[in-house]
A and B are shown apart, each in its own frame.
Chain A
Amino acid sequence: MEEIYLDNCSTTPLFTEVMEAMYKAQLQYGNPSSLHFKGIQAEKYVEEARKIIAGALKASPEEIIFTSGGTEANNLAIKGLAYRHYRKGSHLITTPVEHPSALNTFQQLQQEGFSVSYMRIDQDGYIDLDYLKTMLSNNTTLVSFIHVNNETGTIQNIKNICRMVKDFNPNILVHADGVQALGKIPLRPGQYNLDALTISAHKIHGPKGTGALWIKNGVLLQPLFQGGNQENNLRPGTENVAGITGFGKAVSEYINSYAGKVANLHRFKHLFFQELKEKVEVYINGPELKQGAPHIINLSFPGIKSEVLIRSLEEQGIYSSPGSACHSRNNQPSHVLVSLGLNKERIDGAVRFSFSVLNTEEEIEYSAKQVAHCVKDLQKLVF
Chain B
Amino acid sequence: MLYLIRYGEIALKGKNRKFFVDTLTRNIKESLQGLEARIISEHSRIFVEVNKEEHDEEVKHRLQRVFGIVSLSPVSTADLSVEDIQERALELLQSSHTPPFTFKVETRRANKSFSYTSPEMNKMLGAYLLKNMLNNMEDISVDVHNPDVELFVEIRGQEAYLFLESYPGPGGLPLGVSGKGLLLLSGGIDSPVAGWLCMKRGLQIEAVHFHSYPFTSERSKEKVKELAQKLAEYSSSSINLHVIPFTEIQKEIQLHCPKELSITVMRRMMFRLGRDLAQILRAQVLITGESLGQVASQTIENMHAASIGVDLPVFRPLLGMDKQEIINKSQTINTYDTSIKPYEDCCTVFLPEHPVTRPKLSRVNEIEQNLDVDALIEKCLHNYETFTFKLTRQHTYI
Contact = CB atoms under 8 A, between A and B. Distances in A.
Nearest to A312: B214
B214 A305 contact: no
A180 B74 CA distance: 60
B254 interface: yes
B219 to A, nearest CB: 9
A308 B350 CA distance: 11
Contacts of B254: 381-382
A363 interface: no
Contacts of A312: 214
Contacts of B251: 381
A308 B349 CA distance: 9
Contacts of A87: none
B217 interface: yes
A348 B255 CA distance: 22
Interface string A304-315: 010110111011
B218 to A, nearest CB: 8
Contacts of B255: 380-381
Nearest to B344: A307
Interface string B67-79: 0000000000000
A311 B213 contact: yes
Nearest to A310: B214
A329 interface: yes
B349 A305 contact: yes
A192 B179 CA distance: 75
Contact of B342 (A314, A315, A329, A380): A329
Interface in B336-370: 342, 344, 349
A5 B344 CA distance: 24
A331 B214 contact: no
B215 interface: yes
A329 B342 CA distance: 7
B217 A331 contact: no
Interface in B206-231: 213-215, 217-218
Nearest to A331: B342
Contacts of B344: 307
A134 interface: no
Interface string A287-317: 0000000000000000001011011101100
B266 to A, nearest CB: 13
Q: Residue among B214, B251, B342, B344 with the most chain A CB within 10 A?
A: B214
Interface in B97-142: none
A330 interface: yes
Interface string B245-260: 0000001001100000
Interface string A362-383: 0000000000000000001110
A271 B218 CA distance: 31
A330 B219 CA distance: 13
Chain B at the A interface: SS class: loop
A314 B349 contact: no
Contacts of A307: 217, 344
A308 B215 contact: yes
Contacts of A381: 251, 254-255
B182 to A, nearest CB: 27
Contacts of B342: 329-331
Interface in B241-278: 251, 254-255
A311 B215 CA distance: 7
A3 to B, nearest CB: 15
Contacts of B213: 311, 315
A382 B213 CA distance: 16
B247 to A, nearest CB: 10
A312 B218 CA distance: 12
Contacts of A315: 213-214
Interface in A317-336: 329-331
Interface in B317-348: 342, 344
Contact of B214 (A308, A329, A382): A308
A304 to B, nearest CB: 12
Contacts of B217: 307, 311
A124 B287 CA distance: 52
A260 to B, nearest CB: 36
A314 B349 CA distance: 18
B19 to A, nearest CB: 48
Nearest to A380: B255
A143 B251 CA distance: 51
Contacts of A380: 255
B348 to A, nearest CB: 10
Contacts of B215: 308, 311
B54 to A, nearest CB: 34
Contacts of A331: 342
A211 B217 CA distance: 31
Contacts of A310: 214
B341 to A, nearest CB: 9
Interface string A130-156: 000000000000000000000000000
Nearest to B215: A308
B383 to A, nearest CB: 15
Contacts of A329: 342
Contacts of A311: 213-215, 217-218
A331 B255 CA distance: 27
A67 B383 CA distance: 49
A331 B344 CA distance: 10
B354 to A, nearest CB: 16
A329 B213 CA distance: 17
Nearest to B219: A329
A380 B255 CA distance: 7
Nearest to A313: B214
A382 B253 CA distance: 11
A310 B214 CA distance: 8
A310 B218 CA distance: 12
B24 to A, nearest CB: 42
16 contacts: A305-B349, A307-B344, A308-B215, A308-B349, A311-B213, A311-B214, A311-B215, A311-B217, A311-B218, A314-B214, A315-B213, A315-B214, A330-B342, A331-B342, A381-B251, A381-B254
Shortest 3 CB-CB contacts between residues of A and residues of B: A311-B214, A381-B254, A312-B214
Given A308-B215, A311-B214, A329-B342, 7 more contacts: A305-B349, A311-B213, A311-B215, A311-B218, A330-B342, A331-B342, A381-B251
